[in-house]
Amino acid sequence: MFLVTGCKGQLGTAIQSLLKDKAHYIDKEELDLTNQKAVEEFFSKNSYDLIINCSAYTAVDKAQTDQETAHNVNALAPLYLAKYGKNIIHVSTDYVFDGTSHKPYTEDDTSSPISVYGSTKLEGEKNVLDNANTAIIIRTSWLYSPHGSNFVKTMRKLGAEKESLNVIFDQIGTPTYAYDLAQAIIDIIPQLTPGEKGIYHYSNEGVCSWYDFALEIMEQSNLNCHVYPIESKDYPTPTPRPHYSVLNKSKIKKRFNIEIPHWKEGLKKCLKQF
């Protein structure tokens, strides 16, 4: 039996739809993962073959001021899950990189986050690797699904309401459909070796800017909203974003023999669910 944490989020919901009754699902209402005693007590009463940790504090701008909560959720909760749950697949982020590279980031590239969100997620990675028996870190980027708050849902809403939109063109990465990532995680599980530890990158295939992504969302959604490209400096946010966060996925494809769909295919599957 598996344990899926953060089961009400985008990825957790996707995993639940695929694993169904093969896992136990919890969110913060069932267990406060930032409470060490509560987590220790939970695992003293419950035993699982593997934890899939989808819980995270992902409000990037809010994390800059709410640093304690971001640290508790992104760094300490993974520590407690790894320490008491022992075997874990932990989901991390492209924000562990500063975005100054011009080639896709490999797992061996130096991590240097430029935000509280990124730094707390990086600390969570280290805590998992240091404390779990079996530990797989999967970094992903630009996650979206029919559930929760995300770029696709926002663009569809605004595209239906407005004649035109301005979208950033100088931040480059790859969108990831939550259900594609969920399927990859499920495909990985039976191939794991007890005691194995490693960091892997997963996003959909291909590369685009937020502007390109928005154009494709409008086209596939049959929305007549005109999208204009703007620079990041024309849309200031409290937190700097990596300008380039494309992830190299060679390692995960080779180790687990998985095929990864292109981001446009992922978007097509997602929009069919609306």
CA dist 51 and 64 (Å) reads 28
Handedness of CA 95, 97, 98, 100 (dihedral sign): negative
- What are the beta bridge partners of residue 192? none
CA dist 72 and 78 (Å) reads 9
Q: What are phi and psi of 203, to 5 degrees?
A: -145, 175
Pair 209, 228: CB distance under 8 Å: no
Amino acid at 216: E
256, containing H or E segment = helix 250-256
Q: Is 117 annotated in the active site? A: yes
Closest CA to 150 of 173, 178, 125: 178
Amino acid at 84: Y
- What are the beta bridge partners of residue 5? 26, 53
Amino acid at 194: P
| DSSP three-state, residue 150 | coil
- Out of 25, 95, 105, 117, pick the active-site residue: 117
What positions carry a catalytic annotation?
117
